[in-house]
Chain A
């Protein structure tokens, strides 16, 4: 019988229970602090296959820290993070690189490389992660993702020529170009006007449907939450304050939650 390669193993999410949807990310009792300031004090969550999980909370509550811990840009003080069944804390560099290839991360600012054109920005991760692709295939892929994010004619523009919304879209295009199975969005609609915010929210749903991704969306934009959430987790005081569906949150009598959904 053919043995499974390490990459195949990483790609396949592990089932945790027979009837429960597959868990792609599992965070347990995560703690992290900077100096004396403890940010996360034992946060736990699960992201299931094919769902959009919104993490809601005040600024400084540790939402962005959480997703940076998931991709190991920040190292947690304690706790467990499992991505596609693989423990991230203490993971070897090679395995971490392979796991990161399965994760897309949309930064708050877009984080486009200033010195490269849009096309070069998109080609940069693709040429390194999908080395088997020919130049024609790379060009085709760039064209495809630019069309998918609604900016087909921007390939030769520099990031400085793009508006905030366009930067986010190109950032998203760069994130999905490598076909990740998990997407992490860090405040995707922050700083955008309501119309562009709505467009980005719709784009998040489109990407989910088209690329069959599972996503964690960090936000405090309620319109975005309403548009994209399959499930919501509210973070407060470094822990999971409440977890439930959009309806649960909208009908909650809890003053902290009501203040968001009024």
Chain B
């Protein structure tokens, strides 16, 4: 119990220090751009393939059921709605938790082990501002963009899935997919992805920054970052869905 409370306190202080450092006048913009590139651009191939497969599989699995009910024409709309509201954000966030969270945990963990963070501190550079704020902000900004990107690939996958057994041109598919989509389908889904990004960034950085001194702790930091970030993404999603349900 004492250890748990210590951990909670430590997380709280870490978040507080990150916010404090983020309001500094000396924002490390170059490092922030570099991190956006690392988080965003380098995740794109993985997100593209995952998004495409997500849309394709969802279409292939849903098609027989909709045919049973004579509602095959609903397929584009159903898949796009599922992708935009739930599947896209959650699956993309889980992939980002694995890729980005573990990357941040391992990178910062190895910097800690090799005394690079200490060296930074001695150079009168605030490691919170240089390492943490830039990474957390990059995750907050890039995860929503990656989700939208995955949604687009998912919808393209849906079109491909329909065309495996059927025949529909892209314009008709597009109008069916987006015809009944409303702004409120997008808004809660987009809003929650910022929180997903924040969770992934904070957890990855926290675990790396608080890694032990041995080389083994780098692996532990990366692993625990993935596990905790994935778990928290699911928890945040559950809370977001409940709030959306109450408001709409």
Contacts and interface: CB of A to CB of B under 8 A. Distances in A.
Interface of A: 68, 71, 73, 97-98, 100-101, 103, 105, 107-109, 111-114, 124-125, 128-129, 174, 178
Contact of A124 (B114, B118, B123): B123
Secondary structure dominating the interface of B:
helix
B115 interface: yes
Nearest to A96: B124
Contacts, number: 48
A87 B119 CA distance: 21
A236 to B, nearest CB: 24
Interface of B: 110-111, 114-116, 118-125
A107 B125 contact: no
Contacts of A97: 124
A105 B121 CA distance: 11
Contacts of B121: 73, 100
B124 A107 contact: no
Contacts of B116: 111-114
Contacts of B119: 105, 107, 111, 113, 174
Contacts of A68: 118
A221 B18 CA distance: 41
A131 to B, nearest CB: 10
B115 A100 contact: no
A113 to B, nearest CB: 6
A188 B125 CA distance: 23
A111 B115 CA distance: 5
Given A100-B122, A111-B116, A113-B111, 12 more contacts: A101-B124, A105-B118, A105-B119, A111-B115, A111-B119, A114-B110, A124-B125, A125-B124, A128-B124, A129-B124, A174-B119, A178-B123
